[in-house]
Amino acid sequence: MRVDVVTIFPEYLAPLDLSLIGKARRTGILELAVHDLRTWTHDVHRTVDDTPYGGGPGMVMRPEPWGQCFDDLASPSTHLVVPTPAGAPFTQDLARAFSSDPHLLFACGRYEGIDQRVIDHAATRMRVSEVSLGDYVLFGGEVAVLVVMEAVTRLLPGVLGNADSLVEESHSAGVLEAPMYTKPPTWRGLDVPEVLRSGDHGKIARWRREEGLRRTAAQRPDLLSHLEGTGFQIPGVDV
């Protein structure tokens, strides 16, 4: 997969050199480049922003540098991803969809955002998704790119050793994962649940399914709303 990230703070993306994303880059699974938007400015001050039409506080990113940048970096097979609090919620389903795109191009907005014509014009030439990490406002899109790239990179073939860990994890089946334990069997007076040490794989799978459902009902009841009125029962929980 090819990924380009455009930002006015390239240093913000330094973590993309580390850990498993860094390894995916070194092994050629991921070809990733970070670009400074100011490369596509032509004035001495390398200006990227201006005051908003219609008034109001803050600054808006001017369209010209973005337009020239996309002329250089994008093709019809590019998927432009614009992190913004006004976007659609970023979910595991979106991560899965992005992970099969041949080319992701991230446009990191700052200030009050990017002139809307940049997104509207790009949409005439390529696929565009505006995505939000959640219902809060960050300074810009850079941290969102780090989050999206973690979620996407771990789904690329060859990145995770054990493909089963993708099948069983939280959100892969619309429910949260059951709690996990390792050695020692007793720690500070707290025991690992007996069933996990029973060796009975059928019982363990059933326990994990029920614990996952119980956890989902407690932490994220919204994920179970489709079960309302179906008579579906979670042991010990009223859905």
DSSP-assigned letters across all residues of 74-104: --TTEEEEEEEEEEEEP-HHHHHHHTT-SEE
**137 binding ligand ADE? (CB under 6 A):** yes
**133 binding ligand ADE? (CB under 6 A):** yes
Does 13 carry a binding-site annotation?
no
Residue 208 belongs to what H/E stretch? Answer: helix 201-219
**134 binding ligand ADE? (CB under 6 A):** yes
In the chain, % helix, strand, coil (3-state, to 5) comes to 40, 20, 40
Tell me the one-letter amino acid at 31: E
Binding-site member from 29, 126, 138, 223 for ligand ADE (CB under 6 A): 138
Q: Name the minimum Å distance from CB 98 to ligand ADE.
A: 14
Question: Which residues make beta-bridge pairs with 139?
Answer: none
**83 binding ligand ADE? (CB under 6 A):** yes
Does 137 carry a binding-site annotation?
yes
When the beta carbons of 152 and 175 are compared against ligand ADE, the nearer one is: 152
Distances (CA, A) of 65 to 7, 72, 120, 157: 11, 11, 15, 34
**59 binding ligand ADE? (CB under 6 A):** no
Q: Name the minimum Å distance from CB 158 to ligand ADE.
A: 28
Q: For residues 151 and 97, is the Cβ–Cβ distance under 8 A?
A: no
Q: Which residues of this chain interact with ligand ADE, rule CB under 6 A? A: 83-85, 132-134, 136-138, 140-141, 144
Residue ranges for the known binding site for S-adenosyl-L-methionine are: 109, 133-138
